[in-house]
Every structure is written in structure tokens, then in C-alpha cells.
């Protein structure tokens, strides 16, 4: 059952998705359609998978969904770094990349902590780094 208490990773990934939408729109306006679509898909998928993990059916399911979110975050980082390094593409704001690095760190900590025997999904509602 989902716990609707304040949840740092759910909130951070939702806010990140909103910022990704904005950056994707900038790329779309610059006629970088394939890249805009890739960044949009992977960047918004992070939060969708984190949200889905909140309804996990088991410990393994919870970990699996968060691992998918981490993979999507890695992919998003790749696309953002391409934009950052290419002289022909719009660079993302530094905050977008730093927010993504923070999300990756939080996901990594939750995944590793979840592997402990005393795992409870609700214990991550107020997770802080």
C-alpha cells in the first residue's frame, strides 16, 4: 500500500521531471527532436519508476523498480552530458545535472539499504542524505 507521507525521492524526481520537460522543450524549439525525445523519456521515467516503487508488492519488487529508476537516471545523465559537451547543442543548467547526481546518490543509498534484513518501504518516507 502506498504511503502518502512526505517522501524526498518522490518529490525530487517529480521536480526533476518538470525541469526535464522544460529543457526538452528548449531542445525541441532548437529542432533537436530526437535528443529532446530521448531526454524527455528517460528523464521523466525516473520519477515514474520511483512512484511505482511506492506500490511495490515485495522487497524484491521495490528494489527492482528503483534499479530501473537508477538506470533511467544514468541514461539521462548521458544525454545531458552530450548536450553539455557538444558545441552544437543547448547546454543544460548546471542545477539540472547536480539535481540528477543527487537523485542518483539517493537511489543508490535506498537500494543498498533496502537489501538489509530489516527492510520496510515506509522507512524511506523521510529519507535524507
CA separation for the pair 122, 84 (Å, rounded): 37
pLDDT along the chain (129 residues), means of 10: 73 98 95 95 98 94 97 97 90 93 96 74 49
CA separation for the pair 34, 31 (Å, rounded): 9
CA separation for the pair 30, 63 (Å, rounded): 38
Q: How far is CA 18 from the centre of its chain?
A: 11
Note the pLDDT of residue 120.
53
Note the pLDDT of residue 1.
45
Amino acid at each position: 500500500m502506498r504511503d502518502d507521507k512526505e517522501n524526498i525521492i518522490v518529490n525530487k524526481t517529480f521536480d526533476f521531471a518538470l525541469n526535464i520537460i522544460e529543457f526538452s522543450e528548449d531542445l525541441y524549439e532548437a529542432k533537436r527532436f530526437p535528443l529532446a525525445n530521448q531526454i524527455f523519456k528517460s528523464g521523466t521515467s525516473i520519477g515514474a519508476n520511483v512512484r511505482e516503487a511506492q506500490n511495490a508488492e515485495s522487497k524484491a519488487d521495490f528494489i527492482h523498480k528503483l534499479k530501473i529508476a537508477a538506470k533511467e537516471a544514468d541514461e539521462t545523465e548521458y544525454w545531458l552530458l552530450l548536450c553539455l559537451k557538444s558545441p552544437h547543442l543547448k547546454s543544460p543548467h548546471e542545477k539540472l545535472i547536480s539535481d540528477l547526481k543527487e537523485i542518483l546518490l539517493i537511489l543508490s543509498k535506498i537500494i543498498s539499504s533496502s537489501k538489509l534484513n530489516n527492510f520496510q518501504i515506509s522507512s524511506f518516507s523521510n529519507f535524507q542524505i
